[in-house]
Structure 1
Amino acid sequence: MTAFFLSQLLVTITLIIESFAMQLKNKNYILAALSVSCFFNAWHYLLLEQPTAGYIFLFSSIRFLVSIKWKSQWISVASLSLSLLITISTYIGVLSIIGFIATVFITVGSFSKNDKFLRLMMIAGGSLWLLHNLLLWTPVGIMVEVIFVGSSAIGYYRYYRANKKPLPLEQVKL
């Protein structure tokens, strides 16, 4: 079995988990599911010889668990600092930069106490990981991020937009 094929099998586990994670209402359940998915995604990247993404995702697996219990801004800053250190020490080019910027959005969101903000940051970060995976050309990784961003957007809509009543026509400004 080739490293590429094994990487695609591992990221398939991520795909399954992330297909439902952002549909959960409880923020802590979302973060726990993302922790498990990050573990498998990390090994997918390491098999593809992408150390920045691999180690960022291994660290993210732990970071998501920590963010369930503690929402402290100093832990968020420490996490971002460690992610920056990982990026600098494993830097291999533009993919490292894209991965780090994506991680900034996701880290800021995961330490937020606001579920709505979490979902918006996941959409932004997931979109950058989608770009990363397109440039890397990891087919299942691309599907993971398409589903993750799509599911995040659907979850955001379901919980924060669908229940809003439209303005009466006379209040709509054109």
Structure 2
Amino acid sequence: MDHFIISQALLCVTIIFDIASFQFKRRRIILLCFFVAAAFNSAHFFFLQQWTGAGLMAIGSLRYLISIFITSQKAAIPFMMFAVVTAFFTYSGIISILACSGSLLKTVAAFCRNDKHLRQIMMLGTVFWIVHNGLAESPLGVVMEVLFLASNLVGYYRFYYR
């Protein structure tokens, strides 16, 4: 089977967990959904041979798992360092910078104690990943991140504006 087709199929699982994530109020459940989604997203980038994205999403998956149990912003520091080192060693131009920027923002978000702040910072990080996925030529990746952003906005509206 073609690697591109496999990569896009993996995103179908990612999309399910991404959309579901922000429809929950509990921070732990949100992060558990992120953990699963990031693992599948990492595999997606692996099949596209997008090494920065694959590495950063693998780190992200572990980050989300750890952040379920630890909310200290100090715990974000090693994950931020791993992200920068990964981007450095897999550097392939602006696409790596976008992925690293998105990853750094999502790292800060993951260790927020408050789900409202988590959602706000996650929105900004998602914008970087939307552009990244476009440049990585992953059309379903762009759709996935747009749906992720939309789900976040819907959840934000449901919990903070109604």
Normalising by structure 2, report the TM-score: 0.97
Runs of 4+ in 1 over 3 A off after TM superposition: none
Alpha-carbon distance between aligned partners in 2 of 1:38 and 1:108, rounded to the nearest angstrom: 16
Equivalent residue, structure 1, for 2:119:
119
Query: Which residue type is aligned with residue 144 of structure 1?
Result: M
Equivalent residue, structure 1, for 2:57:
57
Query: Which residue type is aligned with residue 85 of structure 2?
Result: L
Query: Which residue type is aligned with residue 105 of structure 2?
Result: F
8 A Cα contact 1:15 1:140, kept in partner: no
Alpha-carbon distance between aligned partners in 1 of 2:102 and 2:72, rounded to the nearest angstrom: 20
1:137 Cα shift? Answer: 2.0
Size of the alignment, in residue pairs? Answer: 162
Equivalent residue, structure 1, for 2:102:
102
Instruction: Give the number of the structure whose alpha-carbon radius of gyration is greater.
Output: 1
Query: Which residue type is aligned with residue 19 of structure 1?
Result: I
- Percent identity over the alignment is 34
Alpha-carbon distance between aligned partners in 2 of 1:139 and 1:12, rounded to the nearest angstrom: 12
1:23 aligns with 2:23: yes
Equivalent residue, structure 2, for 1:141:
141
Structure 2 residue ranges without an equivalent (≥5): none
Query: Which residue type is aligned with residue 138 of structure 1?
Result: S
Q: Secondary structure at the match of 1:75?
A: helix
Alpha-carbon distance between aligned partners in 2 of 1:20 and 1:112, rounded to the nearest angstrom: 19
Deviation string for 1:135-172 (max 9, x for gaps)? 2221111111010000011111111122xxxxxxxxxx
Structure 1 vs Structure 2 CA RMSD: 0.8
1:39 aligns with 2:50: no
1:77 Cα shift? Answer: 1.0
Normalising by structure 1, report the TM-score: 0.91
